[in-house]
Chain A
């Protein structure tokens, strides 16, 4: 079982709720993946509360746990204020903390991230920090009070898959007991399986499912790949070798010459 801040989950896929062709397709994708945690956000409401109310009703009907984000925040102040508002609306201490540092890459501002993580952790939040694969930043986030880490594997929405497997492997090796979730950059189920085979605890993705030709089918495909990757990690994958090694026994070969 996946354990995050004292709560246990069967599914190791955390799914975003944005960019789907329709709310109904989003809901079907969540069901197809047997998804237990979804990410949500807070935005300006202009229709007397009706737009947000309809979306919130749909999410509540899915019976999943919500992980509010601070997407789009570029400063500590913005992120902390958004977090406080999200806690009241969604009635949860969980928070996916994003402090964006660069418009083009949507790379986290890791300095602001650590500062915001400290402020929010001290205020009782259970922070899911969207971070890079930098080892020292990871250490600082844990010191700041985070009890799990969410490194990217490539820029948000890029669908490139793991760009620095060595760094991901290094994080796993350094923090064997900290839940590690790859957040952002996954494009295909094989990417998700790859990071799960490295021993990552879960995967958070959105665009790869929502913008697929058939989001519901793709949600199911990701769920299977993540499960397969997890089973493979537990089973102990073979390490690559430089030379060929015969699989058929060489002893007992007949001699014909």
Chain B
């Protein structure tokens, strides 16, 4: 299915947010995720279903002022 991940269209097979992170080789306890504009805490990623056309944001710590 087709997802918009961090603003870019990607073809993926995963059915949950946790599986999606694994499929795309994301790892680390410092990642933050949102699905269609709503925050998904790390503990809810295993049960968070994703569907065709969903927008996923994957963020991590960055320098800032």
What residues make up the interface of A, taking CB atoms closer than 8 Å to B? 16-20, 26, 39-46, 48-53, 55-56, 59, 68-69, 71, 77, 81, 84-86, 88-90, 156, 206-207
Contacts and interface: CB of A to CB of B under 8 A. Distances in A.
B65 A48 contact: no
Most A-side CB within 10 Å, residue of B26, B37, B39, B61:
B61
Given A44-B7, A45-B31, A89-B32, A55 B61 contact: yes
A184 B42 CA distance: 34
7 contacts: A18-B64, A39-B65, A43-B60, A44-B7, A49-B26, A52-B62, A88-B32
A88 B41 CA distance: 7
B63 A17 contact: yes
B30 to A, nearest CB: 5
A88 B39 contact: yes
B33 to A, nearest CB: 8
B58 A86 contact: no
Contacts of A16: 63-65
Contact of A81 (B34, B60, B63): B34
Interface string B41-65: 1100000000000000111111111
